[in-house]
A and B are shown apart, each in its own frame.
Chain A
Amino acid sequence: MQAIVSISNLSKTYASGFQALKEVSLDIQQGEILALLGPNGAGKTTLISAICGLVNPSSGSVSVAGHDIVTDYRVTRSLIGLVPQELTLGSFDTVWETLNFSRGLFGKKPNPALIEHVLRELSLWDKKDSELMTLSGGMKRRVLIGKALVHEPRVLFLDEPTAGVDVELRKDMWELVRRLRESDVTIVLTTHYIEEAEEIADRVGVINNGELLLVEDKQALMHKLGKKQLLVELKESASHIPDVLAEWALELSADGKQLTYTYDSSNPHTGIASLLRTISDAGLLLKDIQTSQSSLEDIFVNLVMEKP
């Protein structure tokens, strides 16, 4: 695989003096679905905006298909489609008109058949003559996607595409994203939901405080991050962990009343049932059990602390 977007040492300090991006370097592979995961204010929108030409980077460089985004902006921008986070749309234009406008703006000659195809893909064909202000939030989101697709980009940026979107549309959207990938469109989406990244992405980049903490294959990341814990409370405190329980690598609390088993959610065979059986076979009495899952918050804290 080869990188379609190559970001190197990109930094952005806003006029206010706030540094929103710190030396971000990232290669986006041709044809992949990359999720940028990070809490609000992490710098996701800033990163995308810099690639698309909406934010002037303070330092560093970005190239798209080997072309620099500043000196070769005509080439790079025509390869990129952007669906912004906010529902920014006109009011009085019709759905059809606004797609036709977008296509022209990106230097492509009018193509009614393609516009029809895109509108049908997005289940918007019956709305083609509706004025934009009459559409629901979900439909506006789809129009924005249509506007980004209608000039046939090679890379599509979706900035928080599921914010304020209902379950149905979300399903449709992932469906569409997968279809686009099949036609070799590279997709970069941002989200602050780990489940979302898990559901759709091939690779996940974690970004916090303007720093790209890691970029990894989703499987590997989930394995690493998706920690779950089983807490076993005992009726009577134990002095040590019985040897028969060694294979689960349990931790015993200081008061001897709680055993903690840490396991991987990506591993279907977690051996909980046999663990519980072995615990009672070893003569320990169970009082209560509960599970806890590491939250995105914990993951970020861990990631940030791991950094030297």
Chain B
Amino acid sequence: MNIYAIRVIYKYEMLRFRNTLMQSFASPVISTALYFVVFGSAIGSRMQEIDGVSYGTFIVPGLMMLTLLTQSIANASFAIFFPKFTGTIYEVMSAPISFFEILTGYVGAAATKSMIIGLVILATAGFFVPLNIAHPVWMMGFLILTCVSFSLFGFIIGLWATNFEKLQLIPMLVITPLVFLGGSFYTIDMLPPAWQTVTLFNPVVYLISGFRWSFFEVSDVSVGLSLFMILTFLTACLIVVWWMFKTGYRLKK
């Protein structure tokens, strides 16, 4: 196990985060605050409670997920795309380091960053709405699993992308719609029956549902199913990355 390599990659990535600390926090915190002003206070005050939870509070887990997903993907995809783009990746590829160690360094750092941002958003939300987390341990579990799996997913996108457009494509075209349609702002049973069925094909539904359960003990699908789905996604990403490294996809010629 090349511990020193994991350590320098992780540190390097976290240092990059520290150097851009303001940008890293400012954007998610400001947009979250805006969501609460609009949905929590302005519109939320006219909305009825959902499953006994005020609307402003109800949207907290969904908003956190929105940020966790976009941040994890952005952080991890950029972390690997950039050295590939500038050519500095040659050093990592020629080092005595296994694919698992490379992943631990890059994905670990990306997941840590989005986890920190997620918790900052949670704290921000606490200023606007009353919060009561029913299952803090489950909440942290879902938070960590989500950050890790989507950082892995971002890592795949970063490896796959051959230019900046492609790097932006998936998060914009796929992730944002999936999160918005995944029940961030409503429960599934508020939709017409046909759409409820369609929605069940959206993987983000399971994430948000499970995460929301850890807060309020209400969910669209069972917690076990949520956990199963996220672990399946994690495993699928791991297999894809493993294959990419094994064949040298976009890394070796």
Chain A residues in the interface with B (C-beta under 8 A): 14-15, 49, 52-56, 73-78, 80, 82, 84, 86, 88-90, 92-93, 100-110, 147
Decide: B94 and A54 in contact? CB cutoff 8 A. Answer: yes
Q: B residues within 8 A CB of A100?
A: 8
CB of B86 within 8 A of CB of A55, answer: no
B94–A77 touching, CB < 8 Å: yes
14 contacts between A and B (CB under 8 A): A82-B94, A88-B86, A101-B8, A103-B4, A103-B8, A104-B4, A104-B5, A104-B7, A105-B95, A106-B4, A106-B5, A106-B95, A107-B4, A110-B4
Would A105 and B88 count as touching, CB distance under 8 A? Answer: no
Contact between A105 and B253 (Cβ–Cβ < 8 Å)? no
B90 in contact with A101 (CB, 8 Å): no
Q: Give B166 Cβ to nearest chain A Cβ, in Å.
A: 19
Nearest B residue to A51, CB-CB = B94
Neighbour of B96 across the interface among A49, A73, A101, A102, CB < 8 A: A73
Q: How many angstroms between the C-alpha atoms of A229 and B92 in the bound complex?
A: 50
Complex Cα distance, B5 from A77, in Å, reads 13
Once bound together, how far apart are the Cα atoms of A22 and B52, in whole Å?
A: 73
Which residues of chain B have C-beta atoms less than 8 A from A110's C-beta?
4
A52 in contact with B94 given A14-B253, A101-B12 (CB within 8 Å): yes
Whether A105 contacts B90 by the Cβ 8 Å rule is no
A90 in contact with B86 given A77-B95, A101-B12, A107-B2 (CB within 8 Å): yes
CB nearest to B87 among chain A residues: A88
Q: Chain B contacts of A49 at CB under 8 A?
A: 253
Q: Mark B84-122, 1 if CB is under 8 A from A, else 0.
A: 001110111111111000000000000000000000000
Q: Which residues of A contact B4 (CB under 8 A)?
A: 103-110
CB-based nearest B residue for A16: B253
Query: Are the CB atoms of A54 and B93 closer together than 8 Å?
Result: yes
Cβ–Cβ < 8 Å partners of A107 in chain B: 2-5, 95-97
- Is the Cβ of A92 less than 8 Å from the Cβ of B19? yes
B residues with CB within 8 A of A:
2-5, 7-9, 12, 19, 86-88, 90-98, 248, 252-253
Q: A103 contacts which chain B residues (CB < 8 A)?
A: 4, 8
Contacts of A106 in B (CB 8 A): 4-5, 95-96
Complex CA–CA separation, A53 to B253 (angstroms)? 10
Point out the residues of chain B lying under 8 angstroms from A86, CB to CB: 87
CA of A93 to CA of B253 in the docked complex: distance in angstroms? Answer: 28
Q: Which of B7, B90, B94, B248 has most A Cβ within 10 Å?
A: B94
Q: Knowing A53-B94, A77-B95 are in contact, say whether A104-B8 is a contact too (CB < 8 A).
A: yes
B96 touches A56 (CB 8 A): no
A105 touches B91 (CB 8 A): yes
Q: Are B9 and A105 in contact (CB under 8 A)?
A: yes
Q: Is the CB of A55 within 8 A of B87?
A: no
Given A92-B19, A105-B8, A147-B91: 8 more A-B contacts, CB < 8 Å? A53-B93, A54-B90, A75-B96, A86-B87, A93-B12, A102-B91, A106-B5, A106-B95
Docked CA distance A78–B95 (Å): 7
In the complex, what residues of A have CB within 8 A of residue B86's CB? 88, 90
Q: Are B19 and A84 in contact (CB under 8 A)?
A: no
B248 & A56 in contact (Cβ 8 Å cutoff)? yes
Separation of A224 and B119 alpha carbons in the complex (Å): 72
Q: Name A93's closest neighbour in chain B (CB-CB).
A: B12
A77 contacts B253, CB within 8 Å? no
Determine the distance from Cα of A75 to Cα of B2 in the docked complex, in whole angstroms.
12
Q: Which of B95, B97, B98 has the most CB of A within 10 A?
A: B95
> How far apart are B247's CB and chain A's nearest CB, in angstroms?
8
Q: Of all chain B residues, which has the CB nearest A82?
A: B94
Give min CB distance, A133 to chain B, whole Å: 11
Q: Which residue of A lies closest to B12 (CB)?
A: A101
Q: How far, in angstroms, from A92 to B88 measured CA to CA in the complex?
A: 13
- Residues in B with CB closer than 8 Å to A92 are 19
* Residue contact A88 to B8, C-beta cutoff 8 Å: no
Query: How far is B85's CA from A86's CA once the two chains are assembled, in angstroms?
Result: 13
Q: List, in ascending order, chain B residues with CB within 8 A of A80's CB.
A: 94
Known: A14-B253, A92-B19, A105-B9. A84 touches B92 (CB 8 A): no
Can you name the residue of chain B whose Cβ is closest to the Cβ of A151?
Answer: B95
Which residues of B lie under 8 Å from residue A93 when comparing CB positions? 12
Give bound CA distance, A90 to B2, whole Å: 22
The 3 closest A-B pairs by CB, nearest first: A104-B8, A88-B87, A77-B96
A92 to B86 Cα, complex, angstroms = 13
Cβ–Cβ contact B90 & A84, under 8 A: yes
- Residue of B7, B91, B248, B253 with most partner-chain A CB within 10 A: B91
Within the complex, which residue of B5, B9, B87, B90 is in contact with A82, where a contact is CB–CB below 8 Å?
Answer: B90
Residue of A nearest to B16 (CB): A92
- Closest B residue by C-beta to A77: B96
